[in-house]
Amino acid sequence: MRAPRILVTGGAGFIGSHTCVALIAAGYLPVVLDTLVNSDARSLQRVACITGVEPVLVCGDVRDAVALDRVFAAYDVAAVVHLAGLKAVGESMADPVSYYDVNLAGTLALVQAMDRTGVRTLVFSSSATVYGDSQPSPIVESAPYAAVNPYGRTKAMVESMLADLARADARWSIACLRYFNPIGAHESGLLGERPHGPPNNLMPYIAQVAAGQREWLVVHGADYDTVDGTGVRDYVHVMDVARRPGILMANLGTGRGASVLEVVSAFERASGRRIALRIGPRRPGDAPAYWADARGAWQAFGWRARRDLDQMCADSWRWQAANPHGFDDPAPAHASGLPRFQDNTSTSINSKPGHSHA
């Protein structure tokens, strides 16, 4: 029997490439639509090294109705995982129109194309940023939208549009997954996060300091009302968020917060390297602390995070150490095809509590 095909928009990116690994392990064939504006096609070759299956890559824009129609016509797609988008908060404040264009108009073009084709099962990659910074933690899914930047507002608007669509037409099945802070890398060390340019986010920055590629980490503020004064976030392993099941509206986090200094300590333990750091001023727009109430995803479809911060750091370091130049580094010879890594996270996208491996 042929593996059902899943269209993964943005599938060459950080979360998308790990999602491809999880989808293949669960018996699906990913078809990736990506402009590669923030990713590298070689990430999909690494997916092939891990799984033995290279996802189909269609280089195209999610805003392009013709390209979308072609993809749906060429591949018998059963469902869509939508990750294509822009995600840098600072950039969204400087250039909001691009964010509304790619994130909002891109999703509109996608659902219109899906409707034309009759594919009405969609998993949308949302973000904890839809909650803004006024919610007490742990944050529950029923908290109101209060995004404080254009990036977050595009995510909230897309969620509202999709909720209206699902209410208007019962044929649609839509899940909005609100990722908290996905970090880590595939445990093989073959796949990980490789941002273009200097990393904005904490984990890739720490990894590059550990590797000697940057001198020190600037801690953005140590005067917050938190355990050690530094910002607290709910870091969740990328291979946990890649294990995406069912149809839902849910937070994907661990339910636990970790401060910047706690992440630094965990990374030092994992890498055996000292992370030089300097305390800098607060970063504009940063919330002091937030983490997920992660019970909803467990109750709704049996998902919960399995990997702790130590494993997130160990996997990030394995990836960084083995690939100091990202995808420019050749995949290790032993990884060419076989033996394949057993992905112990594999699960059906329709898994229910009790069927989960957790």
Binding interface with ligand UD1 (CB under 6 A) = 87, 89, 127, 129, 149, 181, 200-202, 205, 217-220, 231, 233, 260, 283, 286-287
Structure tokens at 172: 């649609």
Angle between helices 65-74 and 106-117 (to 10 degrees): 40
Residue 85 partner contact from ligand NAD, ligand UD1, none using kind-dependent CB cut-offs of 5 to 8 Å: ligand NAD
Is 149 a residue that touches ligand NAD (CB under 6 A)?
no
Is 271 a residue that touches ligand NAD (CB under 6 A)?
no
Q: Check if the beta carbon of residue 172 is closer than 8 Å to that of residue 165.
A: yes
Residue 190 partner contact from ligand NAD, ligand UD1, none using kind-dependent CB cut-offs of 5 to 8 Å: none
Q: What is the rounded radius of gyration, in angstroms, for the C-alpha atoms of the chain?
A: 19
Structure tokens at 41: 């096609």
CB of 112 to ligand UD1, least distance (A): 26
Strand-pair partners of 235: 181
- The burial of 148, by beta-carbon neighbours within 10 Å (0-12 exposed, 13-18 middle, 19 or more buried), is given as middle
Q: Check if the beta carbon of residue 93 is closer than 8 Å to that of residue 46.
A: no
CB of 177 to ligand NAD, least distance (A): 8
What binding mask, one character per residue, do residues 70-99 give for ligand NAD by CB under 6 A, x or -? Answer: -------------xxxxx------------
Is 36 a residue that touches ligand NAD (CB under 6 A)?
yes
Residue 220 partner contact from ligand NAD, ligand UD1, none using kind-dependent CB cut-offs of 5 to 8 Å: ligand UD1
Q: Which residues contact 288 (CB under 8 A, 6 or more apart)?
A: 133, 224, 225, 226, 231, 232
Footprint on residues 110-139 left by ligand NAD (CB under 6 A): 125, 127
Footprint on residues 16-35 left by ligand NAD (CB under 6 A): 16, 33-35
- Report the relative pairing of strands 258-259 and 232-233 from DSSP bridges: antiparallel
How many whole angstroms separate alpha carbon 206 and alpha carbon 198?
11
Is 300 a residue that touches ligand NAD (CB under 6 A)?
no
Whether residue 205 lies in the annotated active site: no
Which of 30, 182, 189, 296 binds ligand NAD (CB under 6 A)? It is 182
